[in-house]
Chains A and B, each alone.
Chain A
Amino acid sequence: EVQLVESGGGLVQPGGSLRLSCEASGFFFRNFAMHWVRQAPGKGLEYVAGISSNAGNTYYVDSVRDRFTISRDNSNNTLYLQMGSLRAEDMAVYYCARSGWLRGHFDYWGQGAQVTVSS
């Protein structure tokens, strides 16, 4: 069974940093592209970042480029999102998701990790 489990969320002050993790199981992690998608309270889905299966290519939405870094550890089946210079508008539930390639549909999603940015 494919499982994606996010962790690392929490409360952080504006300007602070946080690292999210997504532990994958039930499939060959190294064969799939991975993504982060977020959802602000009461809002819709917003694509954040993606990384190819071998980490050779990454993509970021403009609003997080230069502040967030997506990475992966294929030996430990884990996806990461290092978030820096956090702003109030970054507050959201962050989901990790899997796709066959970097620009593909997302066939499995995690349950999400809450990130709260507040002083």
Chain B
Amino acid sequence: DTGVSQNPRHKITKRGQNVTFRCDPISEHNRLYWYRQTLGQGPEFLTYFQNEAQLEKSRLLSDRFSAERPKGSFSTLEIQRTEQGDSAMYLCASSSQGPIYGYTFGSGTRLTVV
């Protein structure tokens, strides 16, 4: 068990470019979550997968954002036509089904849009 892995750790991009982040969850976890954290705030929920199905999406997830989890394994989060307001830490977390006792977060991908 190597924990939740996120790549890249840091990404600097120019406004208007597309970016894609990857998350590899803990292998036996079938639930996967994406959160976004801006400076001075707590993480905010973006979207949730159970296996390969995307079951919930936050209103924060505009049309420029898309997430996938093919075959219920790793997940990708793509942001198209990035804006400066997209600059944030993007966190992935995974959990197993059942009573919640806290899911496992990755170290995050820090996105800076210049």
Partners in one complex: no
Residues of A within 8 A of B (CB): none
